[in-house]
Amino acid sequence: MTFDVEKIRKDFPNLSTRGRDEKPLIYFDNAATTFKPCQVISSTHAHYCHRTANIHRGVHYLSEEATAAYESSREKVRSFLNARDNFEIIFTKGATESINLVAHSYGRKFIKSGDEVIISEMEHHSNIVPWQMLREETGCVIKVIPFNDQGELLMDEYRKLLTSRTRLVSIVHVSNSMGTVNPVKEIIALAHAAGAVVLVDAAQGVSHEPIDVQDWDCDFLAFSGHKLYGPTGVGVLYGKQALLETMPPYQGGGDMILSVSFDKTIFNRLPFKFEAGTPNIAGVIALGDAISYVKAVGWEGVSAYKNELLAYGHKLLETVPGLRMIGTAKHKAPIFSFILQDIHPHDIGTLIDREGVAIRTGHHCTQPVMKHFNIPATARASLAFYNTKDELDIFVKALHKIIEVFK
């Protein structure tokens, strides 16, 4: 089946929104959040019109319907990640909460003073700060894998960082500020050889390529629904059963218990042990519909098309005088992070917005990456499968115009 971008664009109503001054909108901020297809939007609408009920706690018809839809979403996520069992899928409010859950629950129980946690220089702040909070509490040590000027992890340095004290490696799959696709499988194998567990931050990667948690053999994996064409406020933590069983609950409340008395509370089984309180029911169900949508579109066509966009974008941007690409790794997602002459990224962001192009400017919650290149910020265009080469043409033309303004 060939990939038909025009057909796909029709599924995303937000693509026909106008930008500033009624300009046709070009949405190149997909690493921040993606647009949602009609299938996801109508799922949420339908839920609140026809299926509003709490889950796991009613005997009435609607509650059973809502529970079934919620749990079928869990099955969709399981199958999407190729996890072994449904109960290895925990719903959270996003990648950030998923990482915090691991740091809080696994970290506080199994990581002691002097133990080592390895992260990388290209982590999003959400995969740095929770470990610093853990360090504050336990006295563990954080070690950082550096990257080269192309934005590729230095695997030899990584090997040297692994010791008998390494307890956990937490690593980003696809960098949101440089687009690098990291060799996750190799990173995991090396960590396991050293006796450490691995958490993969797949916030960006989940929309980039198929993930098979059994093939990777990762211990934990985190992502957010809103970067996978799903709603905001819902995310996933995958964890291997054996690990999740040993971990204490993250929050206390309803649904995560079997019985409560003032003397003793018995915690519920997986995955409910980690889902305290009423979850984002409509969001979880819509995430399931987003996954069905991505599956229906098909990875094969998407991957080839995104690689085309990546190559085309790089070639076009090379024609822009004084443009320096930040992130030129061999394996990349179509994320173009750059600086342009001495024009501040925020000026680029505002000026290009006037042309209808939405990009992100700033440090992208990856200040260590900015520090590596000794720059305060970049301009970043991040593409999804509904973007086109025509849009890239307009974008690059607009960059040429901006250079004229600052001449």
Partner 1 sequence: MTEHTDELYQQVILEHNKHPRNFVKLCPCTHEAEGYNPLCGDHLSVYLRITPEGVVNEVSFYGDGCAISKASASMMTAAVKGKTVDEAKLLFEEFRKLVMKETDAAQPQQLLGKLAVFSGIWKYPSRVKCAILAWHTMKGALDKEKSVSTE
Ligand X SMILES: Cc1ncc(COP(=O)(O)O)c(C=O)c1O
56, 78, 104, 124: residue in contact with ligand X (rule CB under 6 A): 124
Question: Per rule CB under 6 A, is residue 94 in the interface with ligand X?
Answer: yes
Question: Measuring CA to CA, which residue among 120, 238, 128 is closest to residue 174?
Answer: 120
Question: Per rule CB under 6 A, is residue 391 in the interface with ligand X?
Answer: no
Neighbouring residues of 165: CB distance < 8 A, sequence distance ≥ 6:
114, 115, 116, 141
Q: Which does 345 bind (CB under 5 to 8 A by kind): ligand X, partner 1, none?
A: partner 1
| Least distance between partner 1 and beta carbon 114 (Å) | 33
Label residue 65 exposed, middle or buried (CB < 10 Å: 0-12, 13-18, 19+).
middle
Give yes or no for a contact between 98 and 203, defined as CB atoms under 8 angstroms apart: no
Stretch that binds partner 1, among 45-53, 141-149, 187-195, 362-370 (CB under 8 A): 362-370
Q: Is 365 a catalytic residue?
A: yes
Question: Per rule CB under 6 A, is residue 43 in the interface with ligand X?
Answer: no
Look at the block and give the residue holding tokens 């998923």.
98
φ, ψ of residue 24 to 5 degrees: the values are -60, 135
φ, ψ of residue 3 to 5 degrees: the values are -90, 120
What does the alpha-carbon distance between residue 267 and residue 285 come to, in Å, rounded to a whole number? Answer: 25
Considering only residues 312-351, where is the footprint of partner 1 by CB under 8 A? 343-347, 350-351
Stretch that binds ligand X, among 35-43, 122-130, 256-264, 397-405 (CB under 6 A): 122-130
> Measuring CA to CA, how many Å separate 348 from each of 26, 206, 247, 372?
15, 29, 47, 22
Question: Per rule CB under 8 A, is residue 394 in the interface with partner 1?
Answer: no
Question: Per rule CB under 8 A, is residue 242 in the interface with partner 1?
Answer: no
Helix (H) or strand (E) holding 12: none
The 3-state DSSP class for residue 251 equals coil
| Least distance between ligand X and beta carbon 235 (Å) | 6
Give yes or no for a contact between 77 and 67, defined as CB atoms under 8 angstroms apart: no
Question: Per rule CB under 6 A, is residue 207 in the interface with ligand X?
Answer: no
Question: Per rule CB under 8 A, is residue 370 in the interface with partner 1?
Answer: yes
| Least distance between partner 1 and beta carbon 338 (Å) | 16
Residue closer to partner 1 by CB (options 185, 354) is 354
Amino acid at 115: D
Q: Which does 133 bind (CB under 5 to 8 A by kind): ligand X, partner 1, none?
A: none
φ, ψ of residue 137 to 5 degrees: the values are -85, -40
Binding site for partner 1 (CB under 8 A): 20-21, 343-347, 350-351, 354-355, 361-363, 370, 376-377, 401-402, 405-406
Binding residues for ligand X, per CB under 6 A? Answer: 31, 94-96, 124, 126-127, 172, 176, 201, 203-204, 224, 365
Q: Which residues are catalytic?
A: 365
